[in-house]
Amino acid sequence: MPLMNIFNVAGTGMSAQTVRLNTIASNMANADSVSSSVETTYRSRQPVFKTMLEGMQNNQASTGVEVIGIVESSEPLRQRYMPDHPMANDEGFVFFSNVNPVQEMANMMAASRAYRNNVEVLNTSRQLLLNTLRIGQ
């Protein structure tokens, strides 16, 4: 893999992890949201990644990652009987988001570490490239 492709691969990884972190932030912001119907209640969202093959030369593939979409969770919503709540439906039920804050925090730590790893790849590659250029001096 040519050295310059490493920058592209790490860049796509950083971009994907940024989308993942933004999605997690949206989930955390809506973790306690309520609604009076199942259709309007916020559902947890997760990004879907896909590997990009940029070229096949001498059996070496330069790969990256791209976000192909963001999907909503199919887990059931939390439902509570709270007839005095202003958002209660006709039957007295209030629907809460299906966001699991503990799971989102674990996802956030994993996304943050993956982002940091891609930054480290960029920095190490840059240092190696500069050291290679210094050899010719």
The answer on pLDDT for 6 being more than 90 is no
Question: What tokens appear for 90 in the block?
Answer: 């006709």
Domain ranges of the chain: 3-135
pTM of structure: 0.84
The answer on pLDDT for 1 being more than 90 is no
Q: What's the CA angle centered on 13, arms 114 and 71, to 5 degrees?
A: 90
Contacts of 63 (CB under 8 A, 6+ apart): 9, 51, 52, 53, 54
Amino acid at 15: S
Q: Which of 35, 43, 23 is nearest to 99 (CA)?
A: 43
What is the chain's mean pLDDT, rounded? 89
62, 114 contact by CB (below 8 A): no
The answer on pLDDT for 38 being more than 90 is no
Strands of the sheet with 78-81, listed across from one edge: 34-35, 93-96, 78-81
pLDDT tens digits, residue range 69-114? 999 999 999 999 999 999 899 999 999 999 999 999 999 999 999 9
